Structure formats: C-alpha cells, structure tokens
Amino acid sequence: MTVSLAFMVALGLITFLAFFGLPMGLAMISGSILYLLMRGQDMGIAAEQFLNGMYSNYIMLAVPLFILAAEIMNSGSLSDRLLKWCDALVGRFRGGLAQVNVLQSIVFAGMSGSAVADAAGSGKMMQHMMTKDGKYTPSYAAALTAATAVIGPIIPPSIPMVLYALVADTSIGYLFLGGVVPGLLMSGFLMVQIGVTARLKKFPVEPPVPLRQLPRMTWEALPVLMMPVVLMWGIYGGVTTPTEAAAVAAAYALVVSIVVYRSVRARDFYRSLLLSAKTTASIGMLIAGALVFNYVVTIENIPRSLSLLLLSWDLDPLMFLIIVNVILLVLGCVLEGTTILLVIVPVLIPTAQALGIDLVHFGVVVVVNIMLGLITPPYGLLLFIMTRISGSPMKALISDVMPFLIGLLLALALFTFVPETVLWLPKLFGYQGMLL
C-alpha cells in the first residue's frame, strides 16, 4: 500500500497541530486543505465536503438532542430520584452502594447515550454517596463510576452508535437493539466482581430501605424510569425515527423536570442549552474535520488498498476481529473516541464487509472497544474526569480501575467470539443480517 507525498505531509501537519493543542477537528481541516493545495485541487472542496455531510444527513440531529436530554436531566432532580430508587432495590446488600452505582448506570444509559454525561452527572452524586463517612476510598468509588459509565453508550440510546451508523450506513434501530444484551452482560460482569470483592474486603452494608416504602419510591421515580420505555416504544413501534426519538427524549426530560418534579427553573434550562450547544459545537467541528479528511483518504484509495492488503493475509473473520480489537484498544489509549469512529473505522469497514462480517455485530464490537478506551490508562478521558471529581491521585485510580477493565475486556471477548450475543435481539425484531 503506497501513499502520496501530499498525504504524508498532510498527516504530519495534522499530528503536529494536534500535538500542540489545536482541536482535532481544526487540525484535520488544516491538513486536508494543505493536501488539496499540494494536489492542485479547488480549496472549495473542503467546504463542500463538510457542508454536504453535515446538512444532508438527518441522522446528525440526534447527537445534539441526546446531549440536551442528558443536560436537562442533570440540571433537574431526575438523576437524584433515580439514585434513591436504585438504593432502595440493591443498597441493602453487602457492597450495596457499589451495586447501586452499576444499576443507576443501566437505567441512566437509556436516557443520555453518553459515557461522559453519565460520569459527570449521576457520577458526581455516586462519588459523594460512596465516600461519605469513609465507606469506600475515593479512588475505588471513582474507578467504579468510570467503569459503569462506559455502559451508557452501549445500552440504547447511544451517540457513538449514531456516529457509527453515519459512517457505516447501518440501521440505527438494529444497532440500538444489538447493544442491549452486551450492555447488560457488561453490567453483570461488574456486579459479580463487586459481589466477590465486597465479601473479601468486608464492604459496608447500608441500612435497608423498608420494603413497604418501595412502591412509593417506585411511583416517585416512575416518570424517570419510563423515559427509556417511551424511547424504545417510539423507535421499535414505528412511531418515531431514532432522530425524532432524540427530540422526544429532550422534550420528555424537560416536561418531567418542569411539570412533574418542578425542579428546573428558567436559569437551569438556559444553562442546559448553553452546555449542550458548547458540546455539540465541539463534536460538530470534529465531524466536519473528519468528513473532509475522509474525502482525502478516499482520494488516496486507502480503504480499498488496506482492504486488499488485509485480504491478502488470508485472514478469517475471527482473526480480523481480534486484530481490530487490538488496534482500537491501543488507539483508544491516545485518541478521542469520536475521532476513531469518524476517521479510523471507515477504513476498516470495507474489509469487514469483504469478510462477510455483519455490520451490526461489527458496530457493537467497535463501540465497546472505543468505550473501554475511555478507562484505559494512561490517557482515558474518564480517568481524567473522575480524577478531577474525586480528587484521588491518578496512580490510585488506575490501580482500582484495572480489575474492572479486565472484567469488561472478558465481556468484549465474549461479544467478539459469539456474534449471537449481539444479533439475537435484533433478529427477534426482524433483522435479516447483513452478511455478503
């Protein structure tokens, strides 16, 4: 596989600019423009590529809407009520607060679609609850919160899966369904680990919430618990598209916060809009840069060349998936997940198709890999976020997160080697598969 001098210079410029702190989206745009200049092409192609990509793709609207839904929930009392309900269910067992952390992530996953939103929102409250009165060390609480947060984008809705559907031209609905069982299995792995550790380290037992109070607490949390049900019913009942479901999620969170719980004021809503706009602008710039750079990659014929190279190695589908897992896990240590999805994954998709790998299965494996990169030392984004939230040293946090990471890697191996763990639920809803 050969590449032109112009491409090598452009790639070098992108690396140089990113290394010195320029946002990755702007770095990719700069490198792509330099490439077009060296190849004697019209500079307007850059603007044309990201404008066409951003404004002709209806699916892109789902990203800011899911982000807004998460911000509204964080500004209201929805997350707090959810935590109280989870505590009533599993807080009575040894290590119960740690189990609450996992359970709230499962439910919160059906609302935000973002690991960062989970960690920054309900994760702050879990950190406070677990470390209060010295029940758990700050590093253990932070490590568990980071590990449970990665479940968020696996169980639908999922912003990374929306982006994967964009680059792979795959059904979002079936991708969402494909993430349900893996997300629950990952949660199960974590809960088993906590159960074993709780007995070995004598974790505290929380005062049990009387069972007679459970119906009342469930009733109070019911509007929050119904949000994932409303979303899934809308998508799979044929009432809404996934993008429209994202709008429903934001509207539902706002109505419940204002009308039912009366916990969001005008100032809070404005702050949610502002934070959502900032996050969306950051992601949008990254997507724009990726669209332009992907055009450069296509001109260089890199996806086809790489596909032919990998096929010449006579790999079987399983070996290819193992190689992809290793590549993505390594890249996840140093690159932001959205960059991997928008730049690296499109290069791998043609080979996956040529090997007959189902693109829904491939998408879930890819997203799980990228999420695990968020807690993979030394540069996992969630590690830095939880270090700031908890105040614990990075060394202690990494030490406590490694057992959880190993458990989640075992779960990833299961999804990789047994595609039916991903495809069983989509097939139950009529998915015919995408094998070529």
**Predicted local distance difference test score (pLDDT) of residue 79:** 65
pLDDT at 367 over 80: yes
pLDDT at 406 over 80: yes
**Predicted local distance difference test score (pLDDT) of residue 364:** 93
End-to-end CA distance of the chain: 25
Contact 319, 327 (CB under 8 A): no
Q: Average pLDDT, stretch 278-283?
A: 75
**Predicted local distance difference test score (pLDDT) of residue 303:** 62
**Predicted local distance difference test score (pLDDT) of residue 436:** 41
How far apart are alpha carbons 365 and 382 in whole angstroms?
A: 20
Q: Per-residue pLDDT tens for 156-182?
A: 777 788 888 888 888 888 888 898 899
Read off the tokens for 58: 């209806």
Q: Per-residue pLDDT tens for 20-63?
A: 777 777 887 888 888 888 877 776 766 666 666 555 556 667 76
Calculated CA dihedral for residues 416, 419, 420, 425, nearest 10 degrees: 90
Nearest to 8 by CA among 40, 37, 35: 35
User: Could you tell me where the DSSP H helices lie in 113-201?
Assistant: 115-120, 122-131, 138-149, 159-168, 172-200
Read off the tokens for 37: 């200049």
Q: Average pLDDT, stretch 104-109?
A: 71
Contact 140, 131 (CB under 8 A): no
Contact 408, 150 (CB under 8 A): yes
How far apart are alpha carbons 111 and 238 in whole angstroms?
A: 19
As beta bridge partners, residue 94 has 205
Most confident of 227-231, 327-331, 364-368: 364-368
Most confident of 128-132, 207-211, 295-299, 359-363: 359-363
- In this structure, which amino acid lies at residue 232? M
Contact 246, 157 (CB under 8 A): yes
pLDDT at 362 over 90: yes
How far apart are alpha carbons 283 and 23 in whole angstroms?
A: 10
pLDDT at 421 over 70: yes
Q: How many CB atoms lie within 10 A of CB 270?
A: 11
Peptide bond into 378 cis (omega under 30): yes
* Radius of gyration, CA atoms only, the chain: 22
**Predicted local distance difference test score (pLDDT) of residue 435:** 46
For residue 227, CA distances in Å to 108, 182, 250, 328 come to 10, 21, 10, 32
Share of the chain above pLDDT 90, in %: 8
Q: Average pLDDT, stretch 76-86?
A: 68
Most confident of 254-258, 323-327, 390-394: 323-327
How far apart are alpha carbons 328 and 101 in whole angstroms?
A: 27
How far apart are alpha carbons 144 and 17 in whole angstroms?
A: 34
pLDDT at 361 over 90: yes
Read off the tokens for 22: 């320029």
Q: Per-residue pLDDT tens for 110-152?
A: 555 566 666 655 666 677 677 776 677 888 888 888 888 888 7
Q: Per-residue pLDDT tens for 294-318?
A: 777 777 776 666 666 666 777 788 8
Peptide bond into 23 cis (omega under 30): no
% helix / strand / coil in the chain, to the nearest 5?
A: 80, 0, 20
pLDDT at 279 over 50: yes
Nearest to 243 by CA among 334, 171, 337, 138: 171
